[in-house]
C-alpha cells in the first residue's frame, strides 16, 4: 500500500464545532532524534493531523501526541504510516478539548 492511498481530501470530515481532538499514541522503535523527525514528518503529512509532538523514550514506548480537527477515524492511517516508517503503534487514545 502506498502512502498516497492513505490521504484524503483536505475538507473531508472536518469538525465544525470548534473542538480539537488530541490523539495520544504509544509507539515503539524510536531511538533517537532522527526517529522523532521521521515520525513527526510522516504524521504531519497525513491529512487530518494538524500537530505532532513526540516525547522520546529510548528503548521503550515513546509518546506521540497529535492534534486533529477531523471526525475521521485515523487509527488505521496512523498505524500504517508508522509501520511504513518502521515503528509500531502500541495504543491510541482520543481526548477532546475546546479550542
Query: Which residues are CB-neighbours of 69 under 8 A, at least 6 positions away?
Result: 14, 15, 19, 20, 21, 48, 50
Report the pLDDT value the prediction gives residue 3, as an integer from 0 to 100.
35
pLDDT, greater one: 55 or 12: 55
How large is the average pLDDT for residues 74-82? 94
- Can you give the residue ranges of every domain in the chain? 18-98
How large is the average pLDDT for residues 69-73? 80
17-46 pLDDT, tens digit per residue, is 556 789 999 999 999 999 999 999 999 999
Is 33 in a helix, a strand, or coil?
helix
Written out in words, the top-level CATH class of the domain with range 18-98 is alpha beta
Report the pLDDT value the prediction gives residue 58, as an integer from 0 to 100.
83
Our measurement of the distance from residue 45's CA atom to the centroid of its chain's CA atoms, rounded to an integer in Å, reads 9
Amino acid at each position: 500500500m502506498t502512502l498516497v492511498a492513505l490521504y484524503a481530501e483536505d475538507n473531508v470530515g472536518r469538525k465544525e464545532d470548534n473542538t480539537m481532538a488530541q490523539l495520544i499514541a504509544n509507539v515503539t522503535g524510536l531511538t533517537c532524534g532522527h526517529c522523532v523527525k521521521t515520525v513527526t514528518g510522516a504524521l504531519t503529512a497525513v491529512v487530518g493531523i494538524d500537530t505532532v509532538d513526540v516525547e522520546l523514550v529510548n528503548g521503550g514506548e515513546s509518546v506521540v501526541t497529535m492534534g486533529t480537527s477531523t471526525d475521521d477515524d485515523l487509527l488505521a492511517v496512523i498505524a500504517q504510516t508508522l509501520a511504513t516508517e518502521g515503528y509500531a503503534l502500541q495504543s491510541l487514545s482520543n481526548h477532546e478539548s475546546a479550542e
